[in-house]
């Protein structure tokens, strides 16, 4: 029997016989996948069994550990302050979270952002960067150089981990999301002390938090954000799941705007996105999303102790964004 069959048996024994993988089993399964020591049919069966069962925190931790060990970033030379996962893309609103990340970079809190760029109706980070006159990195060494000189870098998952990108792409074959979407968000390949991410389904926030603790992550922040990204929805209550100095916490933050304030734009206009950044256009919802997201990360960085102080600092940083951003002086 093929060695990988053991893991399919564990997951596929039916309603009464199946059980989750232990962290050690998940690690070994992903290690074999990373070594391409798995038959295509086995890989497909494994991913879909995981999808039907849904991944546990132990499984996510094991998968993530194995994929981290497969990355070239094990020879990292630069450590950013923040690892920011951005995989969902934006369909309903512009990617306001990106402006929050750039403000943080301008204030000396370097951000390594990684994600994907699918050919669909959504707006992904590379398109938004292009609208600002910026380009994503094309390799990990270039990302590290940009982090050292500008404080911000974006690298696609295809450049960062071709294997993870291939596994995510199985969604096109099966029509279902594989568990690698969860794992990709957890990669933190440059070992940043703070890892931030958004989720679309609220129950996954708890799984991310538990997995981060198992992996020894000292700082993390996750919440159900707009479109599945780490982006505050200004007219909704935001439930935060975080870790500070290895200790897990949860907080509930009130709305920034009255319920029903959200107005979905007719189309996602990246020229307007740039104009808001430059101060040439106003956008009440967009600016609330930027400063609201910025406040969440300020809280996670433990720069202030209370939500009110985080919002006040976020507002100040936003209004002074062009005074403290060598990254965007050329934009």
In the CATH scheme, what is the code of domain 79-154+184-328? 3.40.1030.10
Looking at the predicted structure, is the pLDDT value of residue 326 above 70?
Answer: no
The C-alpha atoms of residue 200 and residue 168 are separated, in whole angstroms, by 16
Write out the E strands in the chain.
82-86, 111-115, 152-156, 194-199, 219-224, 238-244, 247-253
pLDDT tens per residue, range 229-243: 999 999 999 999 999
In the chain, % helix, strand, coil (3-state, to 5) comes to 50, 15, 35
pLDDT tens per residue, range 173-191: 888 888 888 999 999 999 9
pLDDT tens per residue, range 87-122: 999 999 999 999 999 999 999 999 999 999 877 889
3-state SS track over 120-145: CCCECHHHHHHHCCCCCCCCHHHHHH
The C-alpha atoms of residue 23 and residue 29 are separated, in whole angstroms, by 10
The full set of domain ranges for the chain reads 79-154+184-328
């Amino acid at each position: 029997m093929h060695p990988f069959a053991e893991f399919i048996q564990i997951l596929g024994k039916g309603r009464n016989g199946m059980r989750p993988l232990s962290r050690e089993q998940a690690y070994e399964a992903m290690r074999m996948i990373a070594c391409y020591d798995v038959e295509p049919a086995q890989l497909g069966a494994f991913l879909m069994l995981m999808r039907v069962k849904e991944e546990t925190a132990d499984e996510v931790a094991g998968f993530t550990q194995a994929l981290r060990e497969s990355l070239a970033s094990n020879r990292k030379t630069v450590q950013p302050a923040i690892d920011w996962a951005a995989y969902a893309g934006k369909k309903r609103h512009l990617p306001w979270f990106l402006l929050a990340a750039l403000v943080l970079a301008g204030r000396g809190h370097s951000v390594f952002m990684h994600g994907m760029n699918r050919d669909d109706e959504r707006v992904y980070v590379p398109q938004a960067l292009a609208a600002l006159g910026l380009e994503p990195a094309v390799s990990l060494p270039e990302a590290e150089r940009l982090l050292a000189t500008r404080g911000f870098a974006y690298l696609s998952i295809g450049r960062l981990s071709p294997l993870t990108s291939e596994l995510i792409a199985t969604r096109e074959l099966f029509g279902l999301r594989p568990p690698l979407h969860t794992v990709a968000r957890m990669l933190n390949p440059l070992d940043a002390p703070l890892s931030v991410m958004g989720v679309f389904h609220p129950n996954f926030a708890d799984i991310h938090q538990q997995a981060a603790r198992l992996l020894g992550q000292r700082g993390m922040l996750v919440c159900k954000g707009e479109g599945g990204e780490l982006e505050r929805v200004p007219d909704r209550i935001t439930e935060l799941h975080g870790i500070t100095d290895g200790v897990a916490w949860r907080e509930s933050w009130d709305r920034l705007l009255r319920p029903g304030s959200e107005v979905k734009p007719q189309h996602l206009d990246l020229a307007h996105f740039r104009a808001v950044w430059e101060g040439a256009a106003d956008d009440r919802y967009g600016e609330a999303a930027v400063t609201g997201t910025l406040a969440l990360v300020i809280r996670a960085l433990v720069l202030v102790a209370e939500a009110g102080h985080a919002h006040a600092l976020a507002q100040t940083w936003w209004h002074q964004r062009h005074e403290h951003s060598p990254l965007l002086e050329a934009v």
